[in-house]
């Protein structure tokens, strides 16, 4: 799931070198922190009933990463003279 999300989000950042690595790190960090806190603090039970829906965060992280890459490209190209 993380691999597919990384691939889909990084397609929007083809102009950025190694965009897939940056997206992968962001998605992995999001998933690990969220699952780690919820399971580590025993907020949710470690059963598929809870873990799978919480892993839906990966889909949200994919969308946010793609939007970030689109916005970054549009802002840098619009303000190239200022940069």
The helices-and-strands tally (H runs, E runs) of the chain is 4, 0
Question: What pLDDT, on the 0 to 100 scale, is given for residue 39?
Answer: 92
CA distance 29 to 36: 10
The domains of the chain are located at 2-78
Question: What pLDDT, on the 0 to 100 scale, is given for residue 37?
Answer: 93
CA distance 62 to 31: 11
pTM of the model: 0.74
CA distance 81 to 3: 36
Instruction: Please count the other Cβ atoms lying within 10 Å of the Cβ belonging to residue 58.
Output: 18
> Is the distance from CB of 28 to CB of 21 less than 8 angstroms?
no
Q: What is the pLDDT of residues 10-63, one digit of tens each?
A: 888 888 888 889 889 988 998 899 899 999 999 999 999 988 888 887 778 888
């Amino acid at each position: 799931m993380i691999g597919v999300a990384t691939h889909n989000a990084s397609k929007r950042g083809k102009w950025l070198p190694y965009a897939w690595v940056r997206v992968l790190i962001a998605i992995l960090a999001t998933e690990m922190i969220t699952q780690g806190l919820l399971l580590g603090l025993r907020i949710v039970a470690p059963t598929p009933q809870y873990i799978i829906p919480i892993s839906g965060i990966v889909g949200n992280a994919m969308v946010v990463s793609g939007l970030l890459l689109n916005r970054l490209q549009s802002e840098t190209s619009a303000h190239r003279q200022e940069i």
